[in-house]
Amino acid sequence: MSIVGIVIVSHSPKVAEGAADMVRQMVGREVPLAWTGGGPTGELGTSFEAITEAIHRAWSDAGVAILVDLGGAETNSEMAIEMLAEEKRGRVVICNAPIVEGAVIAATEASGGANLATVRRTAEELSP
Amino acid sequence: MAVTTENTPRSLDVDWLDRERKRRLIGAVAERIVAHVDELTALDAAIGDGDHGYNMKRGFEAVLQDLDSLSAMSLPDLLKAVGMKLVTKVGGASGPLYGTLFLALGKELPAEPSRAQAAIAFGAAIVAVRARGKSDAGQKTMLDVLIPTQRAFAAGCDAADLKKAALAAAEATAPMRATRGRASFLGERSIGHVDPGARSSSLMIAALCDEFGEG
């Protein structure tokens, strides 16, 4: 059984890497995990291409849950999902959850073997 | 409002839209944005994260570098290629939003569009941008320029009036309170500033109108 992958997308590489560190501390290495932060030239921002690569790095047949911070992170992630090959597109979701807490709880849920919908729902329970 | 106006002073006819014209049109749009980088950055610094000018400049400089190959493409392919450049180079939310605008135009426009077809494609591209940004008119965004400009274009406005309409629509975002995008975090404090995305949209349309207006 494959485990749902987690992708963390922040405007800041430090935030993204830090959130990923917290995930690793919690769930070890069994959950496919990738992070990306910063725009196309490394400035604060997000990059469509970097997000696409991160989705492929964290790829799992069980799907991938993405955690984002602000506006452009979500918009670029949606664009990246739409441009995926058709057989992958339906297996990637963006969680409407706080990026750090959402990533940790989504990964914890994933590590227990939960499916993509459950991983997403659990993360989104954090949102008011 | 009717969307059929074939008897216009300047239609998008194929004999007019040759390789050199495509080069001039896309070059004019790109150069206009690059020339206004500081203004766009200042507008964004006031109510956003201050990167709109630089982000857009990076995207359109990439377009300018490829003008030769871009202008050799069919109109739909050219627009799709510009859209993908903006998606990959601009970053921020503007990259996917403007990228979606150009990609959708490329998808909707035939290679040799009439003005009526161009108006319909413009309308369809706006629908795509609204979906991408989960936004609509009145939220102090680029849509507050694109939507009224599309209406004016569909109604048969000439190039000079279309330019005026677009520039005025951008100015009209100043008294609006932002409810989408980074500026929405400021709430009431977003009032009194022109939206940077509305301004960049108006600049692109103004550049196109100047090119078309010259005949």
Express each pLDDT in A56-69 by its tens digit.
Answer: 999 999 999 999 99
**CB of B87 closer than 8 Å to CB of A79:** yes
- pLDDT for position B16: 67
Residue B13 has pLDDT above 70, yes or no: no
**CB of B132 closer than 8 Å to CB of B100:** yes
Q: How confident is the model at residue A1 (pLDDT cuts 50, 70, 90)?
A: low
C-alpha–C-alpha distance, residues B83 and B94, integer Å: 11
Phi then psi for B9, rounded to 5 degrees?
-60, -35
Contact A48 B133 (CB under 8 A): no
C-alpha–C-alpha distance, residues B97 and B152, integer Å: 22
Active site residue A11: yes
Residue of A nearest to B128 (CA): A79
Q: Which of B58, B63, B86, B87 to mutate to test the interface with A (most CBs of A within 10 A)?
A: B87
Tell the residue number behind the tokens 């964004």, with chain if given.
Answer: B44
Q: Per the structure block, which two tokens stand in for A41?
A: 């030239």
Comparison of pLDDT for A128 and B91, the residue scoring more: B91
C-alpha–C-alpha distance, residues B101 and B82, integer Å: 10
pLDDT tens-digit series, residues B111-160: 889 999 999 999 999 999 999 999 999 999 999 999 999 999 999 999 99
Residue B8 has pLDDT above 50, yes or no: no
Mean pLDDT of B184-191: 92
- Choose, from A11, A16, A108, A120, the residue flagged as catalytic: A11
Contact B91 A71 (CB under 8 A): no
Domain range B19-213, its CATH number among 3.40.190.10, 1.10.287.130, 3.50.50.60, 1.25.40.340: 1.25.40.340
- pLDDT for position B212: 84
Nearest by Cα to B83 from B59, B64, B119 = B59
Q: How confident is the model at residue B18 (pLDDT cuts 50, 70, 90)?
A: confident
* pLDDT, mean over chain A: 96
C-alpha–C-alpha distance, residues B199 and B204, integer Å: 9
Residue of A nearest to B132 (CA): A75
| Measured CA distances, A87 to A61, A84, B162, B190 (Å) | 10, 8, 43, 42
**CB of B125 closer than 8 Å to CB of B104:** yes
Contact B92 A70 (CB under 8 A): no
* pLDDT, mean over chain B: 91
Residues of A in contact with B130 (CB under 8 A): none
Residue B83, chain A, CB below 8 Å: the answer is no
pLDDT tens-digit series, residues A37-47: 999 988 999 99
Residue B113, chain A, CB below 8 Å: the answer is no
C-alpha–C-alpha distance, residues B108 and B214, integer Å: 26
Contact A75 B58 (CB under 8 A): no
Find the CATH number of the domain harbouring A46. Answer: 3.40.50.510
Residues of B in contact with A79 (CB under 8 A): 87, 95-96, 99-100, 132
| Residue range(s) defining the domain that contains residue A17 | 5-124
Indicate the number of domains in chain A: 1
Mean pLDDT of B79-93: 95
Q: Which of A9, A75, A76, A94 to mutate to test the interface with B (most CBs of B within 10 A)?
A: A75
- pLDDT for position B64: 98
pLDDT tens-digit series, residues A15-35: 999 999 999 999 989 999 999
Give the number of beta-carbon pairs within 8 Å between A and B.
Answer: 58
Contact A79 B96 (CB under 8 A): yes
ipTM of the complex: 0.88
Nearest by Cα to B119 from B191, B11, B20 = B11
- DSSP secondary structure string, chain B? ------S-SS---TTTS-HHHHHHHHHHHHHHHHHTHHHHHHHHHHHS-S-HHHHHHHHHHHHHHTHHHHHTS-HHHHHHHHHHHHHHHT-TTHHHHHHHHHHHHHHHS-SS--HHHHHHHHHHHHHHHHHHHT--TTSSSTHHHHHHHHHHHHTT--HHHHHHHHHHHHHTTTTSPP-SSGGGGGGGGGTTS--HHHHHHHHHHHHHHHHHHT-
- pLDDT for position B146: 98
Residue B51, chain A, CB below 8 Å: the answer is yes
C-alpha–C-alpha distance, residues A3 and A32, integer Å: 7
Nearest CB among B58, B91, B100 relative to A72 is that of: B91
Nearest by Cα to A41 from B55, B106, B14 = B55
